[in-house]
Amino acid sequence: MEAMVTFVSDDGAQEDWTKLMPLFRQAGVPCVVAITSRQVGQAGYMGKEQIAYLQDELGWEVASHAREHVNLTELSEARMEEECRGSQEELRALGFGAQAIVYPYGRNNARVRSIAGRYYDAGIEVGGGGNTGRADRYRLQRVALGSYFDSRLPLATNRIAYYKARVDEAVRARAWLIFMLHPAERSHDGEQQRHLRETIRYVQAIGVPIVTVREGLSRRADLSMRARPRRLPGNGVLLRSIRRLVGLKFVWFYFMRCK
Ligand SMILES: [Zn+2]
């Protein structure tokens, strides 16, 4: 499996339009915008027509960033469900069906992932590194670029050298590297914007594809599906234990035959 890179920008702010759109359009690669459905058209956020242009004209992907920007882990199960289902419904009504959800603040737990699994094919977190074949598709990791910098002391994680090193690391591990952007943040200044442009150029120069989450998922059918439980935790644990035992038996059987 070859490495690939994805850029996901959170919150659907106007800066996706003013800062990211010209840059990605010029580079000829797509970005993914995680949209909080209730914020579409609000002051400071992109409107329906802008998002439609990004999706339809530039091939960008729209992901869900919940219905309201809330920490899903703190909600009752009914409210979690409302956020996950409601966001998908509202995005669909606007013409943007979402395949993935970017958890607000990156916050999720087994219950959130289970409910997210009813409406989305993947969930995206904050932090971490490249996603290998062992990665959980409901816990896709991201590397920060431009804001909310990774904490990896003593590394300076806001420099172009760091961003390129993460790309190199993904190439070596044949991993799917997902960068997290927040262009509306103050720290995403002119310098970080130049780093973003240079990172895109670097990825292109070494021949690594820049893809949407949707395309990444279709290329990485090997990503674990284990977080799409039909049952909530409890039943799942028992089922997993049984499966593990059955699996062990087969391994033993095979081992004996080989001898
Ligand atoms: Zn957010």
Element (H, E) at 248: helix 235-258
* pLDDT at position 205: 98
**221 and 237 co-located in one domain:** no
Distance 148 CA to ligand 1 centre (A): 11
* pLDDT at position 113: 97
**108 and 212 co-located in one domain:** yes
**200 and 252 co-located in one domain:** no
Dihedral Cα 161, 186, 23, 87, nearest 10 deg:
110
* pLDDT at position 238: 56
**75 and 106 co-located in one domain:** yes
Distance 179 CA to ligand 1 centre (A): 14
**240 and 139 co-located in one domain:** no
Distance 230 CA to ligand 1 centre (A): 27
* pLDDT at position 259: 38
Total count of domains within the chain: 2
Dist CA 71 CA 24 (whole Å): 30
Distance 105 CA to ligand 1 centre (A): 6
pLDDT by residue for the chain (259 residues), tens only, comes to 789 999 999 999 999 999 999 999 999 999 999 999 999 999 999 999 999 999 999 999 999 999 999 999 999 999 999 999 999 999 999 999 999 999 999 999 999 999 999 999 999 999 988 999 889 999 999 999 999 999 887 889 999 999 999 999 999 999 999 999 999 999 999 999 999 999 999 999 999 999 999 999 999 877 775 545 444 444 455 555 655 665 555 444 444 444 3
Distance 259 CA to ligand 1 centre (A): 56
Dist CA 81 CA 77 (whole Å): 6
Residue 151, class by beta-carbon neighbours within 10 Å (0-12 exposed, 13-18 middle, 19+ buried)? exposed
**130 and 40 co-located in one domain:** yes
**122 and 249 co-located in one domain:** no
CATH code where residue 95 lies: 3.20.20.370
Give the SS3 label for residue 141.
Answer: coil
CB 75 within 8 A of CB 83: yes
**131 and 259 co-located in one domain:** no
Distance 251 CA to ligand 1 centre (A): 45
**51 and 8 co-located in one domain:** yes
**140 and 256 co-located in one domain:** no
**191 and 235 co-located in one domain:** no
* pLDDT at position 240: 59
Distance 234 CA to ligand 1 centre (A): 30
Ligand 1 ion: Cβ-proximal residues, 5 Å cutoff: 10-11
**207 and 245 co-located in one domain:** no
Structure token pair of residue 28? 């000829």
Residue 44, class by beta-carbon neighbours within 10 Å (0-12 exposed, 13-18 middle, 19+ buried)? exposed
* pLDDT at position 258: 44
Q: Which domain holds residue 239?
A: 230-259
Distance 135 CA to ligand 1 centre (A): 22
Beta strands in the chain (DSSP E): 4-10, 32-35, 61-64, 100-102, 122-124, 143-144, 176-181
Which of 86, 135, 95, 76 minimizes the C-alpha distance to 125? 135
Structure token pair of residue 34? 């995680």
